[in-house]
Amino acid sequence: MLIENKNLLVTVPDGWIKKESPSDDYFESSDETKGIYLNSYHRNDWGDDLQIVKEVISIEKNKLKEKDGYRFKIMCEENGTIGEYKYGLLDQYDKKRKYRIATYLLVINKNILRLAFHDYLCDDYKSSEKEYQNVIKSLYINPDYSWKYGCNWNSPAIKKAQIIKEEGEFVDVDLFIKEYELGNNEEINLLVESLIEDKVVGFKLFFDGNWEKKPIENSNDFYYWGSAKIVGNEIAAENFVSQLEKIYDLKKGSFTAMELNAVVVGLVNDPRRMIQELSSMKFFINSDNEALYAEVYINVDLGNRVLEFHEKDPEYRKNIMKALSGQT
């Protein structure tokens, strides 16, 4: 599920609720063992953006030194640059009291965005760190904030996926392309992320730059044959698999990892021109294994930042899910 204030949006497990807080937006897990503070403010009197990061980190450390009965150990402290932002991280842990506070900062033009992750029952630091990293990976900045403060945040606001059920029970899913890049050898990489039922879903799609042009029989047009790989991080990829299972009306399966290779054919249009024009393609999954074979249409419209994940035939649903969830 999503939690957000006017400037920040993050994904957390289901059941979190917003609690009263005098100065920040505060959210807490259903079992009250974890909390997240989101806030933003402006400072003109602390120097440049990196100095502001260091000043805020110093204040955070001193606050905990004054906390009676606690002895926090600094697990990690760092600062640096992400795009046009300066960032800071301070991770502190009192093992005896099982209390961990990890603060993440982004600063642009003397404007501070702050996320503080509190684990009130941290008896397993590695598990807590995994959950914290998942929160940070899901962090989005409201683009209105970016435009207001004159920065070029390269991650557009996440958008809801469009679910289209056609006649004959075919289901199409249109997803948002968050980022894309063209490599030195004409390879094209896409980062696809959307919301389905308030879950961030997505994956990365890598197109190889080598395409073989073959004439279509009795036509002046051509097919373009190539290859692609679909991979996904733990949260967004697993969410995509889970939501697609619901959409396809399939039982929930197990998820290992999303990493599949596919043979791809560009249908009439040249996929190497994907950045300039709509590219319609068919993906052949497990083409060397009849028992696990599947096909799916994937069309890329970079002009509108849309990736269409469209069914070729409902009979391929189970094998598509197996391939996406690493069960092949």
pLDDT at 298: 97
pLDDT at 154: 40
* Rounded average pLDDT over 196-216: 89
- Three-class secondary structure of residue 301 per DSSP: strand
- pLDDT tens, 39-74? 988 888 889 999 999 999 999 998 887 777 889 999
pLDDT at 143: 52
* Rounded average pLDDT over 179-205: 86
- CA dihedral (244, 248, 253, 259) in degrees, to 10, reads -50
CA distances from 92 to 60, 100, 142, 150, 182 (A): 10, 6, 28, 33, 40
- pLDDT tens, 137-191? 777 776 555 434 444 334 445 678 899 887 668 899 999 988 888 877 788 999 8
pLDDT at 155: 45
* Rounded average pLDDT over 279-298: 95
- Three-class secondary structure of residue 288 per DSSP: coil
Contacts of 16 (CB under 8 A, 6+ apart): 1, 3, 27, 28, 29, 30, 36
- The answer to whether residue 313 scores a pLDDT higher than 70 is yes
| Residue 199 pLDDT level (bands cut at 50, 70, 90) | confident
Q: What percent of the chain has pLDDT over 70?
A: 92
Rounded to whole angstroms, the Cα distance separating 137 from 115 reads 12
Question: Exposed e or buried b for every residue in 270-284, given b needs 16+ CB within 10 A?
Answer: ebbebeeeebbbbbb
* Residue ranges of domains in the chain: 2-148, 162-324
For residue 160 the two structure tokens come to: 């809801």
Rounded to whole angstroms, the Cα distance separating 288 from 258 reads 19
- The answer to whether residue 277 scores a pLDDT higher than 50 is yes
Least confident window among 53-57, 88-92, 323-327? 323-327
For residue 289 the two structure tokens come to: 């294994």
Residue type, 227: S
Rounded to whole angstroms, the Cα distance separating 99 from 104 reads 17
* Rounded average pLDDT over 228-256: 89
pLDDT at 167: 66
Contacts of 104 (CB under 8 A, 6+ apart): 87, 88, 89, 114, 115, 116, 117, 136, 139
* Rounded average pLDDT over 186-213: 89
pLDDT at 35: 95
Is the CA virtual torsion 123, 37, 151, 158 positive or negative? positive
Owner of token pair 């094209």: 188
* Rounded average pLDDT over 10-26: 85
Q: Higher confidence at residue 68 or residue 281?
A: 281
* Rounded average pLDDT over 182-204: 86
- The answer to whether residue 262 scores a pLDDT higher than 90 is yes
Owner of token pair 């920065």: 151
Rounded to whole angstroms, the Cα distance separating 115 from 103 reads 6
Rounded to whole angstroms, the Cα distance separating 312 from 265 reads 14
| Residue 22 pLDDT level (bands cut at 50, 70, 90) | confident
pLDDT at 13: 84
Q: What is the CATH number of domain 2-148?
A: 3.40.1000.10
- Please say whether the beta carbons of 247 and 201 come within 8 A: no
H helix intervals, the chain: 49-65, 125-137, 143-148, 234-247, 317-324
R_g over Cα of the chain:
23
- pLDDT tens, 127-137? 999 888 888 87
Query: Is the entire prediction scored with pTM above 0.85?
Result: no
pLDDT at 147: 38
| Residue 267 pLDDT level (bands cut at 50, 70, 90) | confident
DSSP at 1:
-
Average pLDDT of every residue of the chain: 87
Q: Higher confidence at residue 168 or residue 199?
A: 199
pLDDT at 157: 54
